[in-house]
Amino acid sequence: MSAEEIRAFIEAEFPGAVRFGAQIDAVASDRVIIRLPIRGGFLRPGETVSGPTLMTLADTAVYYLVLATVGPVALAFTTHLSIDFLRTGAPDAVLAEACALKRGKRLYVGRVEMWGGRDQPWHAASERGPRELLAHATVTYSIPPR
């Protein structure tokens, strides 16, 4: 699925997920990059991005990767999520890059790196400010039989 197809699918099947605010920056055959502009509800005391926000972003990134590579599977669900929080940060946005580690018939395992930085598309290389690796996650999805 393309970025536009993923957006349309999410709006139709999971309208509540749209409120989270993750924006697709890039979709390729082996990776998805999404960006989450940070707003007040995503911060914990000390004005750093909260753990639940980063976990939701990791899960969202791998689900979008499943959609991009497997197709529209509304009944796919998370079976495992493991995250390492590497540093705190108060960025304008968190950029999540998800790639597949294993794509089986029933299980899909993805890796996600989440970077803090300015609120701009990942591919805007000429405008990139310094980025910090905030967290690393692995996420496993169960893919229902078709």
Region 36-59: mean pLDDT is: 90
- Would you say domain 3-142 falls under CATH 3.10.129.10? yes
Nearest CA to 65 among 26, 96, 32, 111? 32
Region 97-125: mean pLDDT is: 83
Query: Would you state the pLDDT for residue 109?
Result: 98
Region 68-92: mean pLDDT is: 92
Query: Would you state the pLDDT for residue 120?
Result: 53
pLDDT digits (tens, 9 = 90+) for 42-52: 888 888 899 99
Which burial class, exposed, middle or buried, applies to 46 when counting CB atoms under 10 A from its CB (0-12, 13-18, 19+)?
exposed
pLDDT digits (tens, 9 = 90+) for 1-36: 999 999 999 999 998 888 898 999 999 988 999 999
DSSP state of 87: -
Rounded Cα gap, residues 18 and 112, in angstroms:
20
pLDDT above 80 for 105: yes
